């Protein structure tokens, strides 16, 4: 857990705050814990939300003030044998059955009217990647939005080519997981006018990605889609460049509060062990609760509604 408060903004200028939640598959249960702590402390006064992959799904429940919904999903639908199947994958199917998954959780107590009301004067941006261009696509949702495509956007934001073989078609664009092009959309939030960024990560603060032979092999398998293959090959650089932006933005006066695991989580992207999931959830909850309890953080995060 780290915070900075070096924001050079006039006291008369209202500071706009954005909450960004990183993806990470099942590691997202850590973020679910952080967000539930925020709900328990009644801290929801953000101006905008940005979610990538599992992070976007976590934010859906947070915006709707549905405490515990995310944990129910991670320890329920995510552990159902229908969701993750290596046998299915080896037979040419999807490792993660996102169609079944989003159909199931779409029926899990989502009050769409309440969700839109919670976005009054705010926005929720879901990040995906266009597989044809290699560029990020930002889907902005506000109180006036039509939610017909909401779960398709969430599905696309989670559709890593490694786990789900086909891109998701939305308005004629072939979309895949947002982490491919913009895993930490900090710059997007700043460009949208936010001077304070609260970033929830699912990796340790000092974590950096390194080139991997698995990604090189995967890139070769997608060689007929050159833009997507290039993204796969460059994942380590794209991720590390996003981290470098954090330091650059701090130097420019952007206030950044980062919440990250103190050490490596017990969960991996595809963990199916309930004990590990619950443990990492409680780690996230403790981090979020401690952050809002720290007296000095009041100058960085206003914990009052």
Model confidence pLDDT, tens digit, residues 204-227: 999 999 988 888 888 888 888 889
Rounded to a whole number, what is the largest CA-CA distance in the chain?
A: 61
Q: What is each CA distance from 204 to 159, 200, 236, 243, 279, in whole angstroms?
A: 24, 10, 15, 12, 16
Model confidence pLDDT, tens digit, residues 247-296: 899 999 999 999 999 999 999 988 999 999 999 999 999 999 999 887 34
Predicted TM-score (pTM) of this structure:
0.90
User: Does 3 have pLDDT greater than 60?
Assistant: no
Sign, CA torsion 212/214/216/222: negative
CA-wise closest residue to 105 among 74, 149, 141: 74
| Rounded Cα distance, 84 and 44, in Å | 33
Instruction: Give the pLDDT of residue 1.
Output: 52
What residues does 231 pair with on adjacent strands? none
User: How much of the chain exceeds pLDDT 90, in percent?
Assistant: 70
Which DSSP letter does residue 266 get? S
What residues does 84 pair with on adjacent strands? 96
Instruction: Give the pLDDT of residue 279.
Output: 97
């Amino acid at each position: 857990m780290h915070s900075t408060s070096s924001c050079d903004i006039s006291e008369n200028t209202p500071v706009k705050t954005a909450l960004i939640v990183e993806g990470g598959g099942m590691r997202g249960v850590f973020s679910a814990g952080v967000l539930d702590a925020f709900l328990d402390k009644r801290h929801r006064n953000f101006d905008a939300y940005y979610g990538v992959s599992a992070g976007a799904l976590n934010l859906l429940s947070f915006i709707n003030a549905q405490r515990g919904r995310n944990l129910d999903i991670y320890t329920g639908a995510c552990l159902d044998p229908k969701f993750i199947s290596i046998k299915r994958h080896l037979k040419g199917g999807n490792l993660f059955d996102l169609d079944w998954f989003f159909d199931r959780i779409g029926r899990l107590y989502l009050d769409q009217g309440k969700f839109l009301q919670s976005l009054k004067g705010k926005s929720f941006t879901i990040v995906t990647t266009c597989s044809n261009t290699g560029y990020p696509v930002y889907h902005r949702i506000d109180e006036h939005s039509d939610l017909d495509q909401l779960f398709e956007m969430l599905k696309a934001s989670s559709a890593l080519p490694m786990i789900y073989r086909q891109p998701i078609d939305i308005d004629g664009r072939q979309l895949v997981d947002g982490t491919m092009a913009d895993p930490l959309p900090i710059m997007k939030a700043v460009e949208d006018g936010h001077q304070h960024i609260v970033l929830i990560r699912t990796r340790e603060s000092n974590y950096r990605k390194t080139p991997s032979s698995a990604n090189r092999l995967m890139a070769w398998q997608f060689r007929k889609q050159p833009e997507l293959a290039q993204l796969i090959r460059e994942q380590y650089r794209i991720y590390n460049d996003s981290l470098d932006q954090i330091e650059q933005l701090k130097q420019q006066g952007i206030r950044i509060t980062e919440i990250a695991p103190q050490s490596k989580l017990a969960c991996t992207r595809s963990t199916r062990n309930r004990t590990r999931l619950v443990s990492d959830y409680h780690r996230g909850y403790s981090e979020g609760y401690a952050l809002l309890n720290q007296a000095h953080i009041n100058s960085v995060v206003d914990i009052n509604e």
